[in-house]
Amino acid sequence: MKFKQTVLVFIALVNVFSSSLFAQKPKTNTEQVKSFLSSYEKYIDDNNDVHLKEFMELVSIPSISSIPSNKPDVDRAAAWIVNKLKAIGMTTAQTLPSDGNSLVFGSWDKAPGKPTVLIYAHYDVQPVKESEWDNPPFVPKVMDGKIFGRGASDDKSGVMITIWAVETMLRTDGKLPVNVKFIFDGEEEKGSPSFKNFINKNKDLLKADFALNADGGQYGETTPEILMSLRGSTIFEFNVKTANTDAHSGQFGGKTPNAAVALSQIISSFYTKEGNVAVEGFYDKVVPATLQEKEMIKKIPYDKLEDMKLLGTTAETGDTTFSPLERVWFRPTLEIIGMQSGYTATEGHSNIIPGNAMARITCRLVNNQNGDEIKNLIVKHINKNCPIGATVSYKYSEGYARPMKFPADTKAYNYVSDALFKIYGKQPLQDGTGGSIGSLVDIKETLGIYPYSLGFELADEHWLTQGKFNNG
């Protein structure tokens, strides 16, 4: 059962920072670790139904951070988590204000002389396209050992697994081996624009010796991994206008500019035939992947056919000068993530020439790229390539997530790597991700600690579409 497995792994990872377990016993083997963890299995088994009910409750809250009308739901999810933290016996549990959505903070500080571990996750979710779902996305459902619901994987599983791990230790031992602080973000899915100011104002409160990020993936249920790099991201949209109103295609067709066509022409100008971004200056600050990073890629058992089967695609695209994983981990992208123009109802036809068309863009950024600079380059490109008869306006999202890399020579890395090896009986894979978690950079820069990512999201859990959490 994945609930049990992941909770036990996090119990071990919390213990790894205590001198009472792995640090004083470097020769501890896998069987000894399994024996140590077995003492917690009864509590997890006995409370499985309760935990499942709690999880379904949290997943049912539509805490969509990027839609203002869902703000009450975001607040409701935060309050739900605070109540759960109080119920398990945390010393402190409260929501803390930010420039945007509240963050949830919890702490247990009754282990004097022991290190403090800060655990990060996020409770907000992405918007939904209900037509892609077999069941309502905020009415979670268990099918074939899997829990289907928006946020069931990304990242309410990360929130609850870490809470249940702490709960299990408190209920079984009456204490924790280290001091623990939780910080749960309510804006990660929109780039955590308020997190930097928040952490600067609360750095004493969040001070810790080590940090773990529970918003991450896993190569497979039996293969551990440690995330070594993240891309950044920036998002905005642009609107193309060719007329004050849609026009009749019979009366005006042949002489009237079409906003949908103008939008298509602009988008087409973004790319070269090789699949690269044609925006001038887009790659200027990109530093190539290092030899060490290329060696890391070679150790990943990547199979493009598995990815294609997972998504239902028929080809891989992109510049073949770089391997697929190098393109995903260490190269920037410009993706169209949404378009709208004309009559788009599911049925019927309206013979119009659209007067407006809109596209949303996300760019994944690498190493020293700056999100604002990239947006400015794209805007300059759009203005330069705007067809005659069209005008363009822009709508910008607040902030952007910066890319990040993690070193493999820190005490924290060695602790985590050793623990994962002893839990799984194999060395964790080092890998990267094309995704973004902007708040992790702020944790490192403000608190001076690397938040190593240890999540349990699997590729087939479709985090942003019909999200599920594999509980089987």
pLDDT for the residue numbered 405: 96
pLDDT for the residue numbered 242: 98
pLDDT for the residue numbered 335: 98
List 223's β-bridge partners, or say none: 220
Q: What is the mean pLDDT of residues 335-343?
A: 97
Q: What is the mean pLDDT of residues 410-421?
A: 91
pLDDT for the residue numbered 465: 47
Percent of the chain with pLDDT over 90: 78
**In the predicted model, is pLDDT for residue 218 greater than 80?**
no
SS (H, E, C) 219-272: CECCECEEEEEECEEEEEEEEEECCCCCEEHHHHCCCCCCHHHHHHHHHHCCEC
Q: Whole-angstrom Cα distance, residue 317 to residue 431?
A: 21
* Cross-sheet strand order for the sheet of 225-230: 404-405, 225-230, 429-433
455 and 463 Cβ atoms separated by less than 8 Å? no
Q: How confident is the model at residue 23 (pLDDT cuts 50, 70, 90)?
A: very low
Whole-number average pLDDT of the chain: 92
**In the predicted model, is pLDDT for residue 247 greater than 90?**
yes
Q: What is the mean pLDDT of residues 64-89?
A: 98
Q: Using one digit for the tens of pLDDT, what is the confidence trace for 378-401?
A: 999 999 999 999 999 999 987 789
pLDDT for the residue numbered 444: 97
Buried b (16+ CB within 10 A) or exposed e, 7-18: bbbbbbbbbbbb
Helices (H), 322-389: 324-330, 371-384
Q: CA 1, 223, 36: angle at the middle one, nearest 5? A: 60
The C-alpha torsion from 358 through 364 and 368 to 370, rounded to 10°, is 20
pLDDT for the residue numbered 20: 53
pLDDT for the residue numbered 167: 98
Helices 48-59/2-15 angle, 10° precision: 90
pLDDT for the residue numbered 33: 82
Contacts of 18-24 with CB under 8 Å at 24 or more apart are: 18/114, 18/115, 18/177, 18/178, 19/114, 20/177, 21/177, 22/415, 22/418, 22/419, 22/422, 23/415
Q: Using one digit for the tens of pLDDT, what is the confidence trace for 167-180?
A: 999 999 999 999 99
123 and 102 Cβ atoms separated by less than 8 Å? no
Residue 338, both tokens? 């949404």
Q: Whole-angstrom Cα distance, residue 164 to residue 90?
A: 12
Identify which has the larger pLDDT, 145 or 445.
Answer: 445
449 and 441 Cβ atoms separated by less than 8 Å? no
**In the predicted model, is pLDDT for residue 35 greater than 90?**
no
Q: Using one digit for the tens of pLDDT, what is the confidence trace for 275-296?
A: 899 999 999 999 999 999 999 9
Q: Whole-angstrom Cα distance, residue 332 to residue 327?
A: 8
pLDDT for the residue numbered 463: 43
Q: What is the mean pLDDT of residues 432-448?
A: 95
pLDDT for the residue numbered 160: 96
> What letter represents residue 289's amino acid?
A
Query: Is the preceding peptide bond at 155 cis, omega within 30 degrees of 0?
Result: yes
pLDDT for the residue numbered 217: 75
Percent of the chain with pLDDT over 70: 94
List 401's β-bridge partners, or say none: 233
Q: CA 68, 71, 74: angle at the middle one, nearest 5? A: 135
Q: What is the mean pLDDT of residues 238-267?
A: 97
Q: What is the mean pLDDT of residues 94-114?
A: 97
**In the predicted model, is pLDDT for residue 25 greater than 70?**
no
pLDDT for the residue numbered 469: 46
List 148's β-bridge partners, or say none: 141, 468
Q: Using one digit for the tens of pLDDT, what is the confidence trace for 343-371?
A: 999 899 999 999 999 999 999 999 989 99
Identify which has the larger pLDDT, 319 or 459.
Answer: 319
